[in-house]
Every structure is written in structure tokens, then in C-alpha cells.
Amino acid sequence: MFGFLAALDKGFYVVANPQHVHCEVASLSNMGFQGKLRAATGEDALCVAELNHFQLLRLYFACWEAAQSLHPEGISDEDTNAIVNMILGQSKGWLDARSRLHANKIIPWIME
């Protein structure tokens, strides 16, 4: 979220040294969402994919709302198109995943 908002203000920089390390272990008991995503199979894979699309859609929409409130003077068409395309892509992914869950009579997961 902060990367998109910083890009609108033309103020973004990268810290050269690592501040943390991600552990990419495929395990449903992994505390991180990425571990659950990598480990899921069968129905669980579909549930976690649907939840991932929902979370990303919510994040991108929050970015857009924050950008609009932080920049009441308006956002360039190029930047607006970028965030709208991300929102549209996640919406389509969520719709497809949710449709498959519904067709297979699988109850979606809830966020924890």
C-alpha cells in the first residue's frame, strides 16, 4: 500500500540492507499466509486462492481510497488506471474462484 501511495508523491526509496527475512516453508501450520498458500492442495487450494483474491482486492481498494483522500486535487489518469486495473484483476480472480467454490458446494474460508 505504501509503495503505491509513495509513487503518487514521487517519493519512494529502497533500503539497501535486508530488514527482515521471509521463511518460505510450505506448511498449513505456517504462521504466514504464503506458507498456507504454498501448502494447500485440493479444496484447500481453492479456498486459500479465493481468500487471497479477496484480501488483495481489499488492499488495492484501500490504496485507492487513501490516495483519493490524500490527494483531493486529483490523481493522474495513469495512476488511476494502474490501481483500477489491479482492482479489476483481483475482482475477476475472486469471482472465478468464488464461482468454483459455489459450483463445488465448498464453504469459503474466513479471514483470521
With cut-offs at 50, 70 and 90, classify the pLDDT of residue 41.
confident
User: pLDDT at position 65, please?
Assistant: 92
Q: What is the pLDDT of residues 49-99, one digit of tens each?
A: 999 999 999 999 998 998 889 889 988 898 899 899 999 999 999 999 999
Q: Is the per-residue pLDDT at 1 higher than 80? A: no
**Is the pTM above the cut of 0.75?**
no
Q: What is the DSSP string of 42-103?
A: HHHHHHHHHHHHHHHHHHHHHHHHHHHHH-TT---HHHHHHHHHHHHHHHHHHHHHHHHHHH
